[in-house]
């Protein structure tokens, strides 16, 4: 499952890498994609060149979390699957990524499992998205986990650029929360899965490449205060409402400090411009 919006060239590369995947015997790969009314002709291109893709049209204002939630709801109404694989349309999957991800699923699984596939930048020199380990249960600070070559590594948070979720987890906790517009829904999902007894893992090895496309968590002092406040509230900026919902749910003691920092970086960004790198 994946969503697309107005980045046709990346979507082309993604779908080519996905449809060329080897599917192990005993499995069937059904591809579902929601295009949120892209003005660049993405939907028409998919219909013409990838007719096997089950294409769904969004409202035009769903953003990532809303789009994936709408898509996932419709997929569940269509059929029951043993696994759901969430993907981003800017990821170029490595050869046999799907086979490798399925093979990594614990063979003697006694409980629900979520597997996060690690993604590298296009020149394969660093990790862009993957699983993270919490460093601080008070404020939610976490560090990216480098995958082992052969074994699963347990993690706390996971990016859904590549994420395999088994049916047991979905039956237990459902799909992505409707409390988020664009970001944080995947972090919420993995933390919620762990809270309800599921295991969340970083799958061994690497599964694809894509650029890190999250903007800086503040807008510099070169911009007007009006633009900085808009960026703080924007789904493509800091997305403050979703962020604070996430903090309040999982790290409530840090909520007052989180609110203070949001306004500090918005009203006095010069401090962040000088001392923060990202």
Q: Which residue has the higher pLDDT, 10 or 272?
A: 10
**Judgement on whether residues 95 and 10 belong to the same structural domain of the protein:** yes
Rg (CA), the chain: 19
**Average pLDDT rounded to a whole number, residues 30-36:** 97
Whether 181 is covered by a domain: the verdict is yes
pLDDT digits (tens, 9 = 90+) for 192-236: 999 999 999 999 999 999 999 877 788 898 999 999 999 999 998
Residue 256 predicted with pLDDT over 60: yes
Residue 214 counted as domain residue? no
198 and 66 share one domain: yes
Asked, for residue 89, whether it belongs to a domain, the answer is yes
Q: For residues 114 and 169, is the Cβ–Cβ distance under 8 A?
A: yes
44 and 138 housed in the same domain? yes
Residue 114 lies in a domain: yes
pLDDT tens-digit series, residues 134-166:
999 999 999 999 999 999 999 999 999 999 999
Asked if residue 271 and residue 236 are part of one domain, the reply reads yes
Distance CA 231, CA 262 (A): 11
Same domain, 122 and 197: yes
Residues 144 and 263 in one domain: no
Q: Is 216 a domain residue?
A: no
Residues 175 and 201 in one domain: yes
Element housing 84 (H / E): strand 83-87
Give the mean model confidence (pLDDT) for residues 74-88.
95
Return the CATH number at 116: 3.90.550.60
Distance CA 278, CA 265 (A): 12
Based on the fold, state whether residues 162 and 266 are members of the same structural domain: no
Same domain flag for 197 and 92: yes
Q: What is the pLDDT confidence band of residue 270, given thresholds at 50, 70 and 90? A: confident
Q: Which of 177, 209, 241 represents a domain boundary (last residue)? A: 209
Residue 18 and residue 146 in one domain: yes
Is the residue at 166 inside a domain? Answer: yes
- Per cent of the chain over pLDDT 90 is 89
Instruction: With both helix axes pointing from N to C terminus, report the angle between 240-250 and 225-233 in degrees, rounded to the nearest 10.
Output: 50
Q: What is the pLDDT of residue 151?
A: 96
pLDDT of residue 214: 77
With cut-offs at 50, 70 and 90, classify the pLDDT of residue 272: confident
Q: What is the band of 109 on the pLDDT scale with cuts at 50, 70, 90? A: confident
Confidence of residue 41 (pLDDT cuts 50, 70, 90): very high
- pLDDT on residue 278: 52
Q: What is the per-residue pLDDT for 132?
A: 98
Could you list the residue range(s) of the whole structural domain that residue 266 is in? 225-275
Count of domains for the chain? 2
Mean pLDDT value of segment 56-60:
93
- Beta carbons within 8 Å of 140's beta carbon, 6+ residues apart: 134, 247, 250, 251, 254
Which of the residue ranges 16-30, 128-142, 205-219, 239-253 would you say has the lowest mean pLDDT? 205-219
**Residue 1, Cα to own-chain centre: how many angstroms?**
11
User: Could you tell me if 55 and 91 lie in one domain?
Assistant: yes
Instruction: Compute the average pLDDT of residues 1-27.
Output: 96
> Which DSSP letter does residue 172 get?
H
CA gap 22, 11 in Å, rounded: 19
Are 181 and 270 in a shared domain? Answer: no
Establish if 217 belongs to a structural domain. Answer: no
Is 215 inside any structural domain? no
Domain boundary (209, 236, 252) is at 209
């Amino acid at each position: 499952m994946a969503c697309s919006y107005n980045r046709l060239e990346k979507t082309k590369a993604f779908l080519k890498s996905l449809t060329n995947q080897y599917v192990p015997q005993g499995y069937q790969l059904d591809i579902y994609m929601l295009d949120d009314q892209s003005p660049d002709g993405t939907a028409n291109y998919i219909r013409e060149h990838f007719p096997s893709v089950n294409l769904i049209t969004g409202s035009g204002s769903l953003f990532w979390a809303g789009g994936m939630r709408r898509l996932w709801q419709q997929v569940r109404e269509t059929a029951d699957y043993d696994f759901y694989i969430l993907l981003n349309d800017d990821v170029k999957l490595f050869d046999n990524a799907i086979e490798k991800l399925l093979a990594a699923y614990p063979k003697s699984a006694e409980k629900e499992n979520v597997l996060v596939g690690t993604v590298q930048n296009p020149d394969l020199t660093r990790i862009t998205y993957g699983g993270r380990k919490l460093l601080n249960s008070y404020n939610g600070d976490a560090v990216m986990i480098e995958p082992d070559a052969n074994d699963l590594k347990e993690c706390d948070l996971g990016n859904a650029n590549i994420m395999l979720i088994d049916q047991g987890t979905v039956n237990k906790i459902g799909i992505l929360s409707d409390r988020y517009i664009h970001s944080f829904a995947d972090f919420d999902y993995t933390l919620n899965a762990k809270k309800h007894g599921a295991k969340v893992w970083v799958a061994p090895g690497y599964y694809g490449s894509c650029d890190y496309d999250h903007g800086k968590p503040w807008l510099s002092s070169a911009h007007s205060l009006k633009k900085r406040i808009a960026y703080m509230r924007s789904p493509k900026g800091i997305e403050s409402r979703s962020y604070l919902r996430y903090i309040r749910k999982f790290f409530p003691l840090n909520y007052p400090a989180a609110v203070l920092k949001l306004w500090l970086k918005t009203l006095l960004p010069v401090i962040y411009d000088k001392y923060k790198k990202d």
